[in-house]
Chains A and B, each alone.
Chain A
Amino acid sequence: MIVARTGNEAMAEAMRQINPDVVAAYPITPATEVVQLFSKFVNDGLVDTQFVPVESEHSACSACVGASAAGARVMTSTASQGLALMHEILFIAAGLRLPIVICLVNRSLSSPINIHCDHSDTLASRDAGWLQIYTENAQEAYDTTIQLVKIAEEILLPGIVSTDAFIISHGMERVELIDDKEIPKFLGERKLNYSLLDTENPITLGPLDLQDYFFEHKRSQIDAMNKVLPVIEKVQKEFGDKFGRHYSTVDEYKVDDAEVAILVMGSTGGTAKVAVERLREKGKKVGLIRTRVYRPFPKDAMTKALSKVKVVGVMDRSDTLSTLGGHLYNDVRSILYKAEKQPLMKNYVYGLGGRDISIEEIEDIYDELLNIQKSGKVAKDIVYFGVRGE
């Protein structure tokens, strides 16, 4: 069915079709709508979910941990400060290997307070042990929400699927919805090895784990993260084969014959595609790499994509506040350390607090990258793009 939906509506529709056992959530701009729409589904009897309208995001994540440990399929939604308030419990959910899924809207973190898009919220939680998938549009947000439930339950790790604040969350788009009855078939039931509700076989979950065992348990969690990429690829393929929309961990657009490329996450991918089209018409060999999956980092696919070009502009909608530029830039520089082909690289930190990025600005970036290719020199490694006084 083809419908017009905002990113938030698309995610809420996916949640309705997934019909989770428990949703515990707290409102926060710009993700509020997801919870709001979902609670209407609950009260209209369209889902069987126990909705827990908690008193904070900290409790939202905590209730999700309890419900997931009890064997329920569990989802929530949040953004920005909400994710920051969950921070402590994010690590616990991952350490307990609970496949909770968060439908998140990327919004900058205070201070200054701002409600618009950047990726500082999820990137501040990148080391929490959650899978992170950034989407480009409402369709992808909808599709990925469904995929992520399956991925998380198979590998027993929690995951975040995100959209860009307002740009996607509130932008109305054409979305193709899958038939309601197909989703339970695609997902199946959550399989349980243990449950907190099995009183015949009591388990102790979350014990004190000291010097003699902690490291082995942490190592097994790291190992799960090491094994998750093939699972993501498998589920993406199953989804594509069944519903006709194919996804990859790293999305390449006209990279094969490109001289230069930019690397992005989120909605800027859509804007950059138009810039690529325009420049291609002028005969400029430019391409676009967009990483959908950020955690775990798709090292091989990324190395492969980057090795095709001579210059790459890494566009980060975040800064690490460490003098080292954006998050993506640092990850990419790290994986290229041992690569045979190392493209020249420049980091463009852009769009903080929702500062708009236009097609023309991206074209300018491409032109600069083409100049770098000619000169073979990067004058300045890290620039703050689109900010006054730069």
Chain B
Amino acid sequence: MAKLKELAAQKEKFVGGHRGCAGCGAAIIARQVLMAAENPVVVGAATGCLEVFSTIYPYSAWNVPYIHNAFENVAATMSGVEAAYKALKAKGKITKDLRFIAFGGDGGTYDIGIQSLSGMIERRHRVLYVCYNNEAYMNTGIQRSSATPRGAHTTTSPAGKVIPGKLQPRKNLTEIIIAHEPAYAAQATFGYWNDLITKVRKALAADGPSFINIYAPCRLGWAYAPEKTVKVSKMSVETCIWPLYEYEKGEYRITVKPKEKKPIDEFLNMQGRFGHLFKWKDDLPIREFQEEVDFIWKRLLKRSGTS
């Protein structure tokens, strides 16, 4: 259990002054993840919001070594960094015990970077891959990704007169990663900071590849007031839109179980991206979304042996 006072007393590894939006979820994630790391870390980032707003030359928000290569290849890039570390450590050129963290948005992870990520895990590189999942291509101006939930309005799945936003359900990337049998996998969100910190520590301690899919509310793309970011993050868990769980050695564990599972309306109505669903001719889009959330939640309860 991390102590807030101790975390707050640390030297910042991801500093303020960057150009993230007020209320940016991705920035909170970068800060919390690095806060959790107890060993010195080397970070890689895929092209995306985080990369853009944190490293506009000659400024950098990163007080740790950082590399950005391209959009779809942060996992391969960090595979190379980790391989170099192993080679140079074996030769005695490096003595420290380092950890490696890759950050990618959902576009860079679920879509264009999935091959690179799959390869990194299959080859068992000891890298923690963090997907800061804001459920669309926010950096290019809010286009749909395979992480975008059904019903959501994006600029390439607009809420139209005959089609109410995105028609397809989200890809369940966490389960795809679990099928790779990583050393550790989890879902987290910063509204439950202690849960997030604990998961990052477990992932970094695991002897092998690890993956954390971190839900990253985006005030711009999700259309809500900046000060509501943490509330939206928490509501995603309370409605089971974003279940917090972990997977290790064949075992599923729900780490935060909502006391009372709220209907998804309470999450949806906080955000402009779902506003049109409440004005739609029927309740079908919301009902289908609720059914999907219930299905995944029930399956998770079963898999984790929770009732």
Residues of A within 8 A of B (CB): 21-22, 24, 48-50, 52-56, 58-60, 62-72, 74, 88-89, 92, 196-199, 202-210, 213
**B66, B80, B83 — most chain A CB neighbours (10 Å):** B80
- B55 touching A66 by the CB < 8 A rule? no
- Answer whether residue B85 sits at the interface, using C-beta atoms and an 8 A cutoff: yes
Contacts of B51 in A (CB 8 A): 208
Given A202-B65, A209-B57: A62 touches B73 (CB 8 Å cut-off): yes
Q: How far is the CB of A162 from chain B (nearest CB, A)?
A: 23
A-B contact pairs, 27 of them (CB 8 A): A22-B83, A52-B80, A54-B76, A54-B79, A56-B116, A59-B79, A64-B80, A65-B77, A66-B44, A66-B67, A66-B80, A66-B82, A67-B80, A69-B67, A70-B84, A70-B85, A71-B84, A72-B88, A89-B69, A196-B67, A197-B42, A199-B41, A202-B63, A202-B65, A203-B65, A207-B60, A210-B57
Q: Which of B70, B83, B115, B118 meets A92, CB within 8 Å?
A: B70
- B65 touching A58 by the CB < 8 A rule? no
- Answer whether residue B256 sits at the interface, using C-beta atoms and an 8 A cutoff: no
Given A22-B83, A53-B123, A209-B57: A62 touches B76 (CB 8 Å cut-off): yes
- Answer whether residue B2 sits at the interface, using C-beta atoms and an 8 A cutoff: no
Give the 5 A-B residue pairs with the shortest CB-CB distance, closest first: A66-B80, A63-B80, A70-B84, A55-B119, A59-B76
Contacts of B79 in A (CB 8 A): 24, 52, 54, 59, 63, 66
CA separation between A56 and B113, bound complex, in Å? Answer: 12
- B115 touching A62 by the CB < 8 A rule? no
CA separation between A266 and B158, bound complex, in Å? Answer: 55
- Answer whether residue B98 sits at the interface, using C-beta atoms and an 8 A cutoff: yes
Docked complex: B89-120 residues within 8 A CB-CB of A: 90-91, 93-94, 96, 98, 115-116, 118-119
Contacts of A197 in B (CB 8 A): 42, 65, 81, 84-85, 88, 94, 98
Residues of B within 8 A of A (CB): 40-42, 44, 51-52, 55-58, 60, 62-70, 72-73, 75-88, 90-91, 93-94, 96, 98, 115-116, 118-119, 122-123
Which secondary structure dominates chain B's binding surface? Answer: mixed
Q: How far is the CB of B27 from chain A (nearest CB, A)?
A: 15
CA separation between A40 and B263, bound complex, in Å? Answer: 58
- Nearest A residue (CB) for B94: A197
Contacts of A52 in B (CB 8 A): 79-80, 83, 123
- Nearest A residue (CB) for B41: A199
Contacts of B58 in A (CB 8 A): 213
Contacts of B56 in A (CB 8 A): 207-208, 210
Q: How far is the CB of B122 from chain A (nearest CB, A)?
A: 7
- Nearest B residue (CB) for A59: B76
- A89 touching B88 by the CB < 8 A rule? no
- B87 touching A206 by the CB < 8 A rule? no
Q: How far is the CB of B138 from chain A (nearest CB, A)?
A: 15
Contacts of B76 in A (CB 8 A): 24, 54, 58-60, 62-63, 66
CA separation between A54 and B73, bound complex, in Å? Answer: 12
CA separation between A241 and B1, bound complex, in Å? Answer: 65
Q: How far is the CB of B17 from chain A (nearest CB, A)?
A: 14
Q: Which of A24, A50, A68, A199 meets B98, CB within 8 Å?
A: A199
Q: How far is the CB of A25 from chain B (nearest CB, A)?
A: 12
